[in-house]
Chains A and B, each alone.
Chain A
Amino acid sequence: MSLLEVHDIHTYYGKIHALKGISLTVEKGEIVTLIGGNGAGKTTTLNTISGITPAAEGYIIFEGKDITRAPAHQIVSFGVIQSPEGRKIFTRLTVRENLEMGAFIRKDLAKIARDMEYVFHRFPRLKERINQLGGTLSGGEQQMLAIGRALMASPHLLLLDEPSMGLAPMLVEEIFNVIQYLNGESGTTILLVEQNATKALEIAARGYVLQSGYITHRGTGAELQHDPTIIEAYLGGH
């Protein structure tokens, strides 16, 4: 049984039919990536899994439970944690409070403290700024905080939406290292949405290509990396 099974979901924004039958699976321990152009439905797919924009049709099974109609906060308590597009850190909460919000659903204070230490170990910049308001951080620091905050939830499945967006190349590298590290060392299962398709396919076990609310291609990272139509459309030719 797959960890996450998305079966033929349709999602609407008012009258706009954003997802037109998306099906995908994520196995435990995998990195799976969703790539595609703007407006293809990548973020909507994650928001539908998270319960922010519930599916009108189809179903979503996580760890054997049907979560299609569950409210967003409950889906979090099942262990599906999303780090949303545009970082969305709380600008008026301090760095520490942002991380504490990540662990909102957890009760074990000792483990939470340990995970916070781990986040600070991984991102020492955050420790330097522990009592600063989130809004005063630079873009890169905010992205680290967003990922740190997602880790604080100790996710069974981490949904990452455009974690490298708007970052300098060196930081992009750092973020991808963190993603691989999380997957390799702590075995976190990751569903990754990326506009940087080349890098995403390098680290992903499998990938799906979305276009206008449909999945047009699917395959292993290597297969998609070498598919001529995908190179043409998403990997910048050659």
Chain B
Amino acid sequence: MLKSIPIAGRLRFGNDPVQTFLYMAGGALLLFFAFIAVRNTLTGAYGIDDFLQGIVLGLAQGSIYALIALGYTLVYGVLMMINFAHSEVFMGGAYIGFFAINAFHESGFLAENTLVALLITMAIGMLASVILAVLLERIAYRPLRNAPRLVPLITAIGASITLQQIFLRLFGGGTRSYPVVSLCIGGTLQGTTCEGGIDIMQGRYQVEVFGGEIVIRPLYFVIFFIALILMAALWFFVQRTKVGKAMRAVAEDKNTAALMGVNVDRVIVLTFVLGALMAGAAAVLFALYNRQVSPFMGFTPGVKAFTAAVLGGIGNVPGAMAGGVLLGVIESAAPQMLGLPSQLEDVVAFGVLVLILIFRPTGIFGEVLAKKKA
């Protein structure tokens, strides 16, 4: 009889021919990519400067994915359900944020008091996302709490389409643009140029590294650091506060948590609220960077963030953070490394998902989930 041969811990060539085929196909694909990457590096087509450019851009992009991914992973952790309408919670934050920042722009408040206006915009975006998420939970998910798991999944897709359509009918299908904002630090703003300082919103700087030139926008770092602060706050909340502990208890066993006196319904709402706070902040950051908002803008970042959550191990909070950043970096660095046009970044992102699902279906940090099943 054939015995399965363990390779590197959890990888196994077993008796299942499909599994074996997938491993071989995945392995071949990985080797192929590695070969191209090495070749491009050796021939000088891809240099350290390109890599750094990819990292810098990827960290910003990835931290936005990470923030959104937290919403998927938190809700999955507590309800074992993929909230596919989360991308619309994100869209709503960006969209309502648009109305706020546009009003500030027209009243002149944005130009006068840029930082305050931006912070208020972000707060409004977060609030809008929270309201959407709470309504979703109450209307679409709570009545189905004890239904088979497929039912809320389908409802989530329905809710996603419904929200897109509501925004479409209310505000029209055209894209709207966030105003151009300059925030000059350490200097004075002369027209659109920041004299003697750094424009952390619009600034672009050519920096020479390792014989190449890369473009750095301070906004990348602003996005990264805001995301870092929010994630640290979330981590602290979940790990250290009493309610955070109750949330982890509910995620593990709802009945027993109720026997401790935890109001399970309230904790579930709170889970949605936390995810929405992250998504709303991500939405405003995303819109400040990409500038355009539309009722359908949530789809791509939503799917990417979902990929990031799976990559890190869905249900796992640090996993979502790491998965998001990792996906962002891979997506912005890999196409060029492989000599592919950057339009193929989506192919790379979902290629990563396929590889992860083949080699480590529980994700990078997925041990806990695997244990839970056992």
Binding site for B on A (CB under 8 A): 50-52, 71-73, 76-77, 81-82, 84, 88, 90-93, 97, 100-102, 104-105, 135, 149, 153
Contacts and interface: CB of A to CB of B under 8 A. Distances in A.
B245 A97 contact: yes
A13 to B, nearest CB: 13
Contact of A84 (B259, B263, B264): B259
14 contacts: A52-B258, A71-B263, A72-B258, A72-B259, A73-B262, A76-B258, A84-B259, A88-B256, A90-B256, A92-B248, A100-B242, A101-B249, A104-B261, A105-B260
B255 A52 contact: yes
Interface residues of B, number: 19
Given A52-B255, A90-B253, A100-B242, A153 B248 contact: no
Contacts of A135: 371
Nearest to A83: B259
B245 A100 contact: yes
A93 B261 contact: no
B252 to A, nearest CB: 5
B11 interface: no
Interface string B243-282: 0011011001101111111111000000000000000000
A105 B256 contact: no
A153 B256 contact: no
B261 A153 contact: yes
Given A73-B258, A101-B260, A90 B246 contact: no
Which 10 residue pairs spanning A and B have beta carbons closest together? A76-B261, A105-B261, A72-B258, A88-B256, A104-B260, A73-B263, A101-B260, A104-B261, A73-B261, A82-B259
Interface in B317-374: 368, 371
Contacts of A73: 258, 261-264
B253 A88 contact: yes
Contacts of A71: 258, 263
B259 A92 contact: no
Given A77-B261, A104-B260, 13 more contacts: A72-B255, A88-B253, A88-B255, A90-B252, A90-B253, A92-B368, A93-B245, A101-B262, A102-B260, A104-B262, A105-B261, A135-B371, A149-B260
Interface centre among A88, A92, A101 (most CB of B within 10 A): A101
A91 B255 CA distance: 14
B248 A90 contact: yes
A105 B242 CA distance: 10
Given A101-B246, A101-B249, A104-B242, A84 B260 contact: no
B84 to A, nearest CB: 26
Contacts of B249: 90, 93, 101
A73 B258 CA distance: 5
Which of B242, B259, B260, B263 gathers the greatest number of chain A CB atoms within 10 Å? Answer: B259
Contacts of A100: 242, 245
A35 B367 CA distance: 40
Contacts of B256: 84, 88, 90
